[in-house]
Amino acid sequence: MMTEPARIGRTGMSNTADCFFYPEVFVTCHPGDAGEPQMKRHPSLIVEVLSESTAAYNRGAKFGYYRQIPSLTECVLIETERMTVDVFRRRPDGQWLFLSSGVGQTLEFASIDFQCPIEAIYEDVRCAEISLNPELPHAVL
């Protein structure tokens, strides 16, 4: 639950290894980020939209860097080839919980107290394999 005013951004972001990233969207509620217009260091939520050329890197090495950010509690990966959104949520013990949502399911971003049907994320999106077919693979693990 947010305790500070949230800011949504698309500027650069740094993790503890001094690597710089430009995710599609991130949310920070940290007061220290308010005065930094060019770079944020304390995101609570990061959203990445996957493509064929970025999916492996975003799921692997990039997510490894993101996990080093102490303030990060959720990382969201949005598929573009099918209606699937994966949420990685940091548990209180520091372990990461994987949740995958598909057609007909509700997304929850606990870090910002947000819920919506997955179809709202894909509204007006046209991709070759995006379908409302309930037989597409999706599961909550």
What are 20-75's pLDDT values in tens digits? Answer: 788 888 898 888 888 887 788 889 999 999 999 999 999 999 999 999 999 999 99
pTM of the model: 0.80
* Digit-coded pLDDT (tens) for 72-90: 999 999 999 889 999 999 9
Q: How far apart are CA 25 and CA 98, in angstroms?
A: 19
Nearest-angstrom CA–CA distance, 27 and 10: 9
Sheet holding 20-21, edge to edge: 20-21, 12-14, 39-40
Domains and CATH numbers, the chain: 7-121 (3.90.1570.10)
Where residue 94 falls (left for φ over 0; alpha for ψ -120 to 50; beta otherwise) is left
